[in-house]
Amino acid sequence: TYVAVLPLIPVSYLFGISYFGFILSIAVVYYLPACFFLTLLAMRLSLRLNDYKPSIISFLLCLMLGVIIPAFLQPVLNGSVEIAGILLIAIMLNKTIDYSGETLNIKQLLSLSSLTLLLFLLNHWYIFYIAGFYVAMGAVFIVTGPVNGNGFIKRIAIFVYNFAAISGICAIAILV
């Protein structure tokens, strides 16, 4: 679909209507923010797993390393807008990294639903990621339940409620 190209149109006018301007607009709109959110995720994981508070220098070094990784950079230089999906995935992971198994509030439900729907609209192949993401999120719901004092049945009920709410919001948005 061309959904990922729409935000690039005004930015490519800023950089010029050319292939170079298009590549530069992909880099500014999707690539650099994706690298930023992936670096932020890495720093948050480092803090969570090692109880290590990263410095600004380690953040910037990780960000620079992320920017020059050929696996991310080459598709962008070829004009692929698939990096938009990576940006949405990085945002979804950052939003759910501190999840502790409780029922999601309406703001969290709407946020995850809109990101999921947008990810699906970008490219239907992301449905595999979406399915894996929510299966993993369900595993987190069930595993982290004992920490919150919830029983097994209650953990499954919370997962089903959250998943049904996100699925329902996405289904209503698609129907509208």
Mean pLDDT of the chain: 84
For residue 31, the 8-state DSSP code is I
Q: Say yes or no to pLDDT of 152 above 90.
A: no
Greatest CA span in the chain, whole angstroms?
A: 59
Alpha carbons 99 and 108: distance in angstroms, whole number? 11
pLDDT-based confidence at residue 32 (cuts at 50, 70, 90): very high
Over residues 59-92, the pLDDT tens digits come to 898 889 888 888 888 988 998 888 888 898 889 8
Q: Say yes or no to pLDDT of 141 above 70.
A: no
Alpha carbons 150 and 103: distance in angstroms, whole number? 12
To the question of pTM greater than 0.75 for the whole model, the response is yes
